[in-house]
A and B are shown apart, each in its own frame.
Chain A
């Protein structure tokens, strides 16, 4: 019983996974095609395939509603595939319908996922009827061409899949060559051998056809193949010699003869004969299609050779590697080893470290996913919203190939969605307003990601009306979230007010945004993965939200420094150099009590960490401690601390959620880590440290 359950579970999981990725694919194709206002033949086939697979697997799992809807969509695309010109009749309505269907399917999948066995299906009849109506329109207005395949359709819908089977069955192109092949006596299953030969030749030919067509479907053809030979009509991709070589290399071929170029006349005749035989032709087509499918999909498999892994396993693996790294540090800095000279041990340990480093890299890279998926979803939102809100908006995505940790990628979906919605709803003006302001009628939202030294920067930029500082101020005052006199707020601080809890500038609550859970949720989500958001806005020019996100949550190289009784860790990537001051000559004292240091002709501020964090220490003279020059982007400064403790690799842990409200990130701490000796070290966030000091 229980084994039964678990096998159904894993089947269900596979179904959910497969169908969701198919639906993602569908959305992508549809969005692209909608932009280009046309559907390419490949795309039509692809959509057909997606719907076909969905239909099949849903039926297998017993989800009839899903299966039925998928079937209707499949029918529609079946009509389109027969005659793409029909598409123009119903383009817009159809696209909306397909999107709605894809939404419906997605919802169902989600509810299956959430409710498991308690899942109660929704009713797709409405959508199915609409789809059928569209199908009728397409059929009705193109009666001439549709008639013959239609009459065949009801009992064998797949039969008419001919065009895919061998697409250019119409008229063979010029420069074809006919080859007659005889198989060895007693080789048996000549029809299958003929088919296999065709398959082998396919790669070497631009065009291929045979007489009899689709030999694999009818074993009664064996006799005629034995008697008359198997005639292949090919148009070689490169040279005829290639083709001949393949034929020669095939087993069980007795002889072959090149018949020379054919005008195609004879062929047509024979084909007509085959068609009049009627029966064999239809199944032939359908199985030709089936035969092609595994072929093409296995081609895919060879290219990608992907497996899908449960994420919790990856998380576990990551945790283990993290523990391994910590354990390794514990061995390296073990008290028992202190002061011993251990040449061999050191050597072996170095080997071990090399391996764990490599292991770490691999595990991290496994978890990296491109942001394309996230960006793709935004396309959809922009499309739907621009229709609803009657705004014209182009979404430009840049750098979707940038990779981030899966956890981060997941955590980003909601914030991105929220920001895009905000931009669509609040920032971008209506076309009329835009024209009046002298802006292009179509608004533009740019979503870009780039990798900047261990961090990912994601910009959400619009060319809308910009943030209204007065409005924000008034609203903030009304909601009583100001912490200092109004006049003391800088523009930047005002912008950041919108990310405080309970703030929402729009009085009208709309379907899309302004539900009071706005930017504060975005900020929280982003901070949860160790990132932060900054806002830049100019009136009537637009607003840019910039999210800075760490590449991975996991492991980094740090330099440990001590300060009083506390240990801090500085990411190695932020450190330019460290040195001990021998005399005061390079130090300059400002009137406000701060110090500066002259290094190679340039002047840098000195941040005394014990003052900055208000931590008691014995080391207050600059000559007694250590000076570390750090940089973040274009900012460079020197940090003064007690002592350097050494370099190591640490597993970054975020602060417990308990500390969320103290905004430690902004005061220059990005997280903490457990050191080899079991104590906790605080990781400095140099960027925030420098910017808050400024």
Chain B
């Protein structure tokens, strides 16, 4: 039984590994691997939790499961901005935890041939570098985020 599920997941990840969900923040378009994405929901009531860093907005109720949400703008060090009808929460699964990422807008799901993707510049900002690759699309550039690196601070146990 357990083996079957693992196998199913393995198969699924085969199919998803080169597909990315893209979302927009300000003018830029970012992509995250679809393997991490569980679902996309509209913005909803968030219960603030005291004594946590500012970018952790609090908790949402996802069908009976309590999920922490992070404001991706604040996490990236950008200005906070009021949520509007386009604001979405992307629920991701990372290190067996479910986390919601608040983004300005969700764009599309794209397939990327990673072999032809450009490597992001490394210069000067190794610690903060969370991009895994940069891909040129018809009329815009997609910056692919390495979620493990992006969330490294939050995922650390202490």
Which A residues lie at the B interface, using CB under 8 A? 323, 326, 500-501, 565-567, 613-615, 653, 655-662, 664, 667, 669, 672, 674, 678-682
Contact = CB atoms under 8 A, between A and B. Distances in A.
* A interface majority secondary structure: mixed
29 contacts: A500-B158, A501-B158, A566-B47, A614-B50, A615-B48, A653-B66, A655-B49, A655-B59, A656-B66, A656-B68, A656-B97, A656-B98, A657-B97, A658-B68, A658-B97, A658-B99, A659-B52, A662-B52, A664-B51, A667-B51, A669-B49, A672-B47, A672-B59, A672-B66, A678-B61, A679-B45, A680-B47, A680-B61, A681-B47
A659 B47 contact: no
Given A615-B48, A656-B98, A667-B51, 19 more contacts: A501-B158, A566-B48, A653-B66, A655-B49, A656-B66, A656-B67, A656-B97, A658-B99, A659-B68, A662-B51, A664-B52, A669-B49, A672-B47, A674-B64, A674-B66, A679-B45, A679-B47, A680-B60, A681-B47
B154 interface: yes
B105 to A, nearest CB: 24
A614 B54 CA distance: 12
Nearest to A319: B64
A629 B45 CA distance: 30
B156 interface: yes
B157 interface: yes
Given A680-B47, A681-B47, A660 B157 contact: yes
B44 to A, nearest CB: 9
Interface string B31-53: 00000000000000101111110
Contacts of B155: 658
Contacts of B67: 656
A566 B45 CA distance: 10
Contacts of B99: 658
B47 A682 contact: yes
Nearest to A613: B50
* B interface majority secondary structure: mixed
Interface of B: 45, 47-52, 59-61, 64, 66-68, 97-99, 154-158
Contacts of B64: 323, 326, 674
A656 B100 CA distance: 12
Given A656-B68, A658-B154, A680 B59 contact: yes
Contacts of A653: 66
Contacts of B50: 613-615, 667, 669
Contacts of A672: 47, 59, 66
Contacts of B60: 680
A63 B64 CA distance: 45
Contacts of A678: 61
Contacts of A656: 59, 66-68, 97-98
A682 B68 CA distance: 13
Give the interface centre of A323, A658, A667, A681 by most chain B CB atoms within 10 Å: A658
Contacts of A681: 47
A669 B61 CA distance: 18
A661 B98 contact: no
B49 A664 contact: yes
Given A659-B52, A662-B52, A664-B49, A679 B61 contact: yes
Contacts of A323: 64
A669 B52 CA distance: 12
Nearest to B48: A566
A161 B76 CA distance: 79
Q: Which 4 A-B pairs have the closest CB atoms?
A: A613-B50, A680-B47, A658-B68, A667-B51
A657 B98 CA distance: 10
A652 to B, nearest CB: 11
Contact of B157 (A501, A567, A669): A501
Contacts of A660: 157
A682 B99 CA distance: 18
Nearest to A667: B51
A655 B66 CA distance: 8
B66 A661 contact: no
A270 to B, nearest CB: 64
A485 B97 CA distance: 35
Nearest to B156: A661
B61 A674 contact: yes
B122 to A, nearest CB: 28
A693 to B, nearest CB: 14
A603 to B, nearest CB: 27
Contacts of B49: 655, 659, 664, 669, 682
Contacts of B68: 656, 658-659
Contacts of B51: 613, 662, 664, 667
Nearest to A679: B45
A662 B56 CA distance: 11
A527 to B, nearest CB: 12
Nearest to B59: A680
Contacts of A566: 47-48
A372 to B, nearest CB: 32
Nearest to A327: B64
A678 B61 CA distance: 7
A566 B47 CA distance: 6
Contacts of A680: 47, 59-61, 66
A251 to B, nearest CB: 54
B47 to A, nearest CB: 4
Contacts of B52: 659, 662, 664
Nearest to A674: B61
Nearest to B58: A680
A661 to B, nearest CB: 5
A664 B51 CA distance: 7
B48 to A, nearest CB: 6
Contacts of A657: 97
A662 B48 CA distance: 14
Contacts of B66: 653, 655-656, 672, 674, 680
Contacts of B157: 501, 660-661
A76 B120 CA distance: 73
A678 to B, nearest CB: 6
A680 B68 CA distance: 11
A678 B60 CA distance: 9
A65 to B, nearest CB: 27
Nearest to B53: A662
B38 to A, nearest CB: 14
A485 B76 CA distance: 32
Contacts of B158: 500-501, 661
A685 to B, nearest CB: 13
A515 B48 CA distance: 39
Nearest to A502: B158
A613 B50 CA distance: 6
A365 to B, nearest CB: 24
Nearest to A323: B64
Nearest to B45: A679
Contacts of B156: 661
A681 B97 CA distance: 21
Contacts of A679: 45, 47, 61
Contacts of A655: 49, 59, 66
Contacts of A662: 51-52
Give the interface centre of B97, B156, B158 by most chain A CB atoms within 10 Å: B158
Contacts of A682: 47, 49
Contacts of B47: 566-567, 672, 679-682
Give the interface centre of B60, B66, B154 by most chain A CB atoms within 10 Å: B66
A612 to B, nearest CB: 8
B95 to A, nearest CB: 9
B86 to A, nearest CB: 23
